[in-house]
Amino acid sequence: MSALAARLASGPPLLLDGGLGSLLLARGLEPGSAPELWNLERSSDLVEIHSAYVAAGSEAVHTNSFGGNPIRLAQFNLADRCEEVNQAAVELARKAQPSFVLGDVGPSGQYLPPVGTAEEDQWREAFLVQGRALAAAGVDGFHIETMSDLREAQVALTALQQVAPELPVMVSLTFDRKKRGFFTVMGNKLVESLVALAKQGATAVGANCSITSGDMTALADEALAGVASSGVQVPLVMQPNAGQPRVTTRGVSYDQPAADFANDVASMAQAGVGAVGGCCGTDPESIAALRERLQSE
């Protein structure tokens, strides 16, 4: 068992980092451009951001490779630089000297029919290419994030297990809160999805993005109870947003106080969630507040 897998299995809760895209935008990333290109052109900015999270208390940081699969990179004419982009992402994260570097793997942006024209084989090949690059660069594990279709998450998980069977793979879907419970936009149910991923061999399963820390506290409670009652034993990972987005003259803003975010997320850790961090709108201040709350428990 790898050190990361052992830590997730035995605790204490692993403290992840927070949002990355919003911090890049604040440094001048043009909306609609490829954040991954900064790995090659603005590398010092990435090292500074990763280092700020480590200084705030993050034990594991995510590489700047969320859109680093060939399908997504092709939108920016970068598909042929996939290996270069992902290798640089790992090297930059490692320079911040976290305990663990997580290869961040996001969705392809393409959907299966009838919503889109993607094919599962197309997904699989894209994640194989990205996974090989991240593994060769030396990640400690993978984190498949922000998946809205369970099928794509499962294809990505299979691909990463194939290219690096020795590395742990965390998988997070993104859920909306409905009157009937928590569902992805493709209609996947919370507990059923997490159990399916755990049975497929995911090292940890959970949720990120889309919802606030308050709503994710309710999601975490439902997930903890539902996964436990299924008989599956798997650590959970939770990374909520810092409140709701507001459009301002300076762009999109998330205005939840760091202390409120920290209180909510610390309560998830106290309830039994194995890895916690933040998503959109969170920053090193959010993580520092969360670290302080976790240390006070």
Residue 52, pLDDT above cutoff 70: yes
Phi, psi of 75, deg, nearest 5: -65, -20
Q: Provide the CATH number for the domain around residue 59.
A: 3.20.20.330
Average pLDDT over all residues of the chain: 95
Binning pLDDT at 50, 70 and 90, where does residue 243 land?
low
For residue 51, what is the enclosing H or E element?
Answer: helix 43-56
pLDDT, residue 41, reads 97
pLDDT, residue 189, reads 98
What does the alpha-carbon distance between residue 190 and residue 174 come to, in Å, rounded to a whole number? 9
pLDDT, residue 256, reads 84
Binning pLDDT at 50, 70 and 90, where does residue 253 land?
low
What mean pLDDT comes out for the span 207-219?
96
Angle, helices 82-95 vs 43-56, to 10°: value is 40
What does the alpha-carbon distance between residue 189 and residue 180 come to, in Å, rounded to a whole number? 10
Domain span holding position 100: 3-296
What does the alpha-carbon distance between residue 152 and residue 210 come to, in Å, rounded to a whole number? 18
Residue 237, pLDDT above cutoff 90: yes
Residue 22, pLDDT above cutoff 60: yes
What does the alpha-carbon distance between residue 77 and residue 132 come to, in Å, rounded to a whole number? 20
* Cβ atoms 56, 287 nearer than 8 A: yes
Over residues 132-155, the pLDDT tens digits come to 999 999 999 999 999 999 999 999
For residue 220, what is the enclosing H or E element?
Answer: helix 213-229
What mean pLDDT comes out for the span 32-54?
97
Percent of the chain with pLDDT over 90: 92
Of 261, 286, 158, 274, the C-alpha closest to 211 is 261
**Number of domains present in the structure of the chain:** 1
For residue 121, how many other CB atoms are within 10 A of its CB? 9
What mean pLDDT comes out for the span 202-231?
96
What does the alpha-carbon distance between residue 275 and residue 207 come to, in Å, rounded to a whole number? 11
Q: Which two tokens stand for residue 173?
A: 């879907």
pLDDT, residue 265, reads 98
What mean pLDDT comes out for the span 248-261?
75
DSSP state, residue 235: -
What does the alpha-carbon distance between residue 173 and residue 1 come to, in Å, rounded to a whole number? 24
